Structure 1
Amino acid sequence: MNLKLELFVLPVSDVDRTRAFYEKAGFRLDLAVDVSDDYRVVHLTPPGSEASIIFGKGLTTATPGSAQGLYLVVTDIEQARAELVGRGVEVSEVFHDGKGVFFHGHDAGDVVHNGQGQERIVGPHPERASYGSYATFSDPDGNGWVLQEVTQRAPGR
């Protein structure tokens, strides 16, 4: 049995502003339906992804901006960051976690100890190890995204 995660609901406050942000970031518009003043749906897919996001009005009771740690896996972190920045998206500098391989959070600065055993250091992972380099950005409501560089996966993946 395959269980494919293909859709994530984002809590947002302004549908049109959010749609413009994700389209500017290069997400493909799959569907936009205005059923009524109280029910709107926008469905977009990141470039190269099988998973999509959906947001709108009347879809969720979650607080706008409360979705955090949404990972977008890329094969070249510097190229992906440059493309987003070129599209007008504010993206952090590339960084790596000096004490592990799974970073979460949006702290800024050259070295940040986040109290959870993580150490954010500016620059890609020194060996460019898969799962080791990151950059972050947020949508207009503060929903937080993480770019993660993966160049080699475990066998069978």
Structure 2
Amino acid sequence: MDYKFEVTVIPVSDIDRAVHFYKTLGWRFDAEFADDEGYRLVQFTPTGSPASIIFGSGVSNAAPGSAEGMHLIVDDIEAAREDLVGRGVQVSEIFHDKTGVFHHAGTVGRVAGPDAARTTYGSFASFSDPDGNGWVLQEVTTRLPGRV
């Protein structure tokens, strides 16, 4: 049985501001649904991704800005960061973790610059949406066995 991850919910406080932000990223605007009772759902898909995000009113009880650690996998961390900065997004400098494995929560353990050997899975940058939902760019150049 395959279990395919398709959607994650992002809690936001201002739907229209979030729509503007995710459009600025260049993500595909997939759908918007609303009813007369205040329910509103918006869906976006990052460029090249099979998974999407949804946000709106009546779709989550989580506090706006409480999503963190959502990873966007890129094959060139420097080009991805440059693209986002060019779109007006405040992106951290590129970093790697002091363990050389996976990054710690928040900014703990960050070492400036990409992984010295440019090891796949080893270089990161981060940014947040207007509510503070946290995204991480991770450079992956060669996938681990069994990963697509």
TM-score, length basis structure 2: 0.95
Distance 1:97 1:19 in 2: 32
CA contact (8 A) 1:40 1:57 kept: yes
Between the two proteins, the alignment pairs up a number of residues equal to: 147
CA contact (8 A) 1:106 1:136 kept: no
1:150 aligns with 2:109: no
Cα distance per residue 1:98-121 (max 9 Å; x no partner): 2131114342xxxxxx3xxxx211
Deviation at 1:37, TM superposition (A): 5.2
1:78 aligns with 2:78: yes
TM-score, length basis structure 1: 0.90
Distance 1:3 1:136 in 2: 28
Note the residue ranges of structure 1 that are not aligned, 5 or more in a row. Answer: 108-113
CA contact (8 A) 2:100 2:115 kept: no
CA contact (8 A) 1:69 1:104 kept: no
Runs of 4+ in 1 over 3 A off after TM superposition: none
Distance 2:106 2:132 in 1: 10
Q: CA RMSD in A?
A: 1.1
Distance 1:67 1:45 in 2: 17
Question: Identity across aligned pairs (percent)?
Answer: 58
Distance 1:52 1:64 in 2: 18
Q: Which residue of the partner structure matches residue 110 of structure 1?
A: none
